[in-house]
Structure 1
């Protein structure tokens, strides 16, 4: 009997030695950069699906909110976005009596929401399956993983109930946009003469703003074709800038083009070239700085979420004014009243001119990032490298946003007031989000280690 007991004891030791114990350090190292990877994957899908810039901002923001809320119970210094974002309340918490690994729940919540916002749902599903396979290789406890997946899925689905009430589906039932055949009003431009993009985007529910018109910019310059008028002078500035463009300014225009769907003709065939959206460019900047700062997972989630929210509300604010003022594009005006053979450097996007979308959303994103990390944060922006463009270096987030804004003049697609007033509008949106949205419980600003600037 003693011999049998001794045998079973040694057998237990052998089996225990063969059973891998979860390696917390390995698991956390695996999880640390997952939000970077998932936002990059989301960008790839957005480019593939050819979503417009406003719609792309919607696709970025909701999965990141899901990831943030799923992580929250593990980080008591942070607070929920419920009752801070318009209409958001009643989110579930992890079921009691079960052990969870919330970084995994966070990714599943992100994936669950993202799948419902894109056309290429299968790409997200495949990426999720690969994620689950990889996290299992860290020797995470199977029951803990199952609990985490279930919680992430539950939270994601609950958020989808809120998301579906933001007016996105209803906008398709609204009346078709009708061109205004009046002097000074927007008209489609070559080569595709595409119809107006998202004329009803101001019907989308903002996340933090009280209304789409909360931050209306100053009125645009009154349309005029006489040579002494301000409008003619602004048009001549665009005309002369493009005709005398130097190499540096041309590079700036190309770097910030961010046109998700450039069309061009080859013979009798029209072809298309897809690129990153303006919002996607700023999400990539957020990722770059978060990596540079070596942020932990929750800090990274906070960064992505706050930037995405500022972009989302920025697009709503911008598009509200675009279809109210309905200003003609430089290309149309210059070809009609100055030089019929003139062409812009960049392809004119299919929506009204005022204000500049790049200026608005860049001002909003830069204000958010400056709040999180401080002024004079130098960084290298490699967002456009996958699209054949070199890196650019910036001394601060506002430096980048100002370059993004003026790039529209260099590209020949915006007048100066749309750029300057758009930048002011974006900064007001960003500052409102900074002031009203609280992700930390006991600090008006992020702690010192987050707000530090880079040398």
Structure 2
């Protein structure tokens, strides 16, 4: 009898010791690698489905926010939820059982929201299935996967409900942009002469901005077709710069092109060349930076969420100005008043000129990333390698944003005021976001 009691005691101690040990699967997801892979797939699908740059920013943002909201649950109070901080994002509580593996739940939330916001859902679902199969093979038990997915999808559902109130779906039925005959107004450009993209994007609810025109740019230079006028000189500057590009300037222009609408014409044949959006390029930079800094999976989720929010609000503010000023593009002006055979080296995007979208969103993202990684952060931007372009290296996010902005002059896409004033707007948006949104608690900030 005493022997039996001793055996039972030993078994009890062994069970207790086992239950106190870290589970074998706890370190399967330690960094952002799986979310980065999911983001890469989302980028591929965004390109495949040909989403516009503003719409693409929306897809990245809600997906990244969902992943971050699960990460907050694992942060031991060190990270703060975006609920109650983003416009209209209501607070709610989520129960986390001991069977939930939060890094996996975060990934499940990302996949569900991303899948809901695209057309080619089967592509994202297949990628998720492959990722989860791999994770299971690494030792995550089926019951843990099931519980984790259930929590992740609950958070995703809350984010999806939030997304449905941002006026996006209503805006799909708004009237199209009507082309004006005014000589200063934007006109569709060759070779496709596409209609203006997202003329009502300023009606989409921003995440942080109080209003789309909160950081309203000063008016563009007054239109004038007379040689020697201020506007003529701005167009002439674009004309001369493009005609005398160095190889480095040309490389910069193509590196930052990011035009999902590029159409090639060869004889009587037209074919599309699918490219990453400018927001997708900066989400790639965010992932690269997280890897470079060796962030854990929670920090990676924070980086992607905050960067995507900056891009989303940046597009809203930029598009608000674009369809207020509705300014003529350099290609149209130069062909009419300077040289009818001139062409920019990049294809002109299908929306008005002022302000430069690249300048706005790049600087908004750069300010946000600088707040996370510091001023002198060296990174190797390999985002465009998949599209046949070489890497470029930068010593800071702000220098990368400067290059992205001036690339639009080199490409023949923008006049200088659109670049300068766009960059200013983007910096203000980024700085406002950094001051408005708190993700790390004071406890973590003091470490």
Q: Which residue of 2 aligns with 1:322?
A: 322
- The residue number in structure 2 matching 1:67 is 67
Write out per-residue CA displacement over residues 324-362 of structure 1, whole angstroms, 9 at most, x where no aligned residue. 000000000000000111100100000000000000000
The Cα offsets for residues 72-125 of structure 1, whole Å up to 9 and x where unpaired, read as 111020011011011111334134x54211111101111111111001100111
Counterpart CA distance in 2 for 1:88 and 1:191 is: 42
Could you tell me how far apart the structure 2 residues matched to 1:86 and 1:51 are? 24
> Would you say 1:309 and 2:290 are equivalent positions?
no
1:124 paired residue number: 124
Asked if the contact 2:29/2:104 (under 8 Å) is kept, the reply is no
Is the 1:91–1:155 Cα contact (8 Å) retained in structure 2?
no
Match of 1:217 in 2: 217
Deviation at 1:24, TM superposition (A): 3.6
2: CA distance, partners of 1:342 / 1:205: 39
Work out whether residues 189 and 348 of structure 1, in 8 Å CA contact, stay in contact via their aligned partners in 2: yes
Is 1:230 the equivalent of 2:245?
Answer: no
Separation of aligned partners in 1, 2:114 and 2:445: 28
Quick one: distance in 1 between partners of 2:92 and 2:48?
Answer: 32
Unpaired runs of 5+ residues, structure 2, are 1-21
Is 1:134 paired with 2:140? no
Quick one: distance in 2 between partners of 1:149 and 1:172? 31
Distance 2:32 2:338 in 1: 56
Name the stretch that deviates more: 231-240 or 370-379.
370-379
SS at 1:46 equivalent: helix
- C-alpha distance in structure 2 between counterparts of 1:237 and 1:219, whole Å: 19
Contact 2:25 2:139 in 1 (8 A): no
Per-residue deviation, 1:41: 1.1
TM-aligned CA deviation for residue 245 of structure 1: 0.8
What residue number does 1:264 align with?
264
SS in 2 for 1:169: helix
SS in structure 1 of the partner of residue 264 of structure 2: strand
Maintained 8 Å contact 1:328/1:352: yes
Counterpart Cα distance in 1 of 2:32 and 2:329: 45
Which residue of structure 2 aligns with residue 93 of structure 1?
94
1:354 maps to what in 2?
Answer: 354
Are residues 1:405 and 2:423 paired? Answer: no
For the pair 1:377 / 2:377, whether they are aligned, the reply is yes
Q: Which runs of 5+ in 1 are unaligned?
A: 1-20, 449-455
Equivalence map 1:72-87=2 (5 Å):
72-75=72-75, 76-87=77-88
Aligned partners of 1:105 and 1:152 also within 8 Å: yes
Q: Indicate if the aligned counterparts of 1:91 and 1:159 stay in contact, CA closer than 8 A.
A: no
* 1:307-336 C-alpha deviation (Å, 9 max, x unpaired): 000000000000000000000000000000
1:15 is matched with which residue? none
Cα drift, residue 143 of structure 1: 2.0
Describe the shift of the 1:253–1:65 C-alpha distance in structure 2 as closer, same or farther (beyond 3 A). same
Residue 268 of structure 1: how far off its partner (Å): 2.3
Q: Equivalent residue for 1:389?
A: 389
Q: 1:415 to 1:80 in 2, by over 3 A?
A: same
Deviation at 1:236, TM superposition (A): 0.5
Asked if the contact 1:318–1:357 (Cα under 8 Å) also holds between the matched residues in 2, the reply is yes
Shift of 1:447: 6.1
CA contact (8 A) 1:22 1:139 kept: no
Partner of 2:37: 37
Cα pair 1:94 1:100 within 8 Å, conserved: no
Q: Partners of 1:104 and 1:379 in 2: how far apart?
A: 28
SS in structure 2 at match of 1:86 = coil
- Structure 1, 126-135 or 61-70: larger mean CA deviation: 126-135
Please give the TM-score of this superposition, normalised by the length of structure 1: 0.92
The alpha-carbon deviation at position 441 of structure 1 amounts to: 1.7
SS of corresponding position for 1:136: helix
| Offset of residue 417 of structure 1 | 0.1
2:290 is paired with a residue whose SS is: helix
Q: Is 1:425 aligned to residue 407 of structure 2?
A: no
Q: Is the 8 A contact 1:22 1:140 kept in 2?
A: no
Deviation of the 1:26 alpha carbon: 4.6
Distance 1:241 1:85, change over 3 A: same
Question: What is the TM-score when the length of structure 2 is the normalising length?
Answer: 0.93
Runs of 4+ in 1 over 3 A off after TM superposition: 445-448
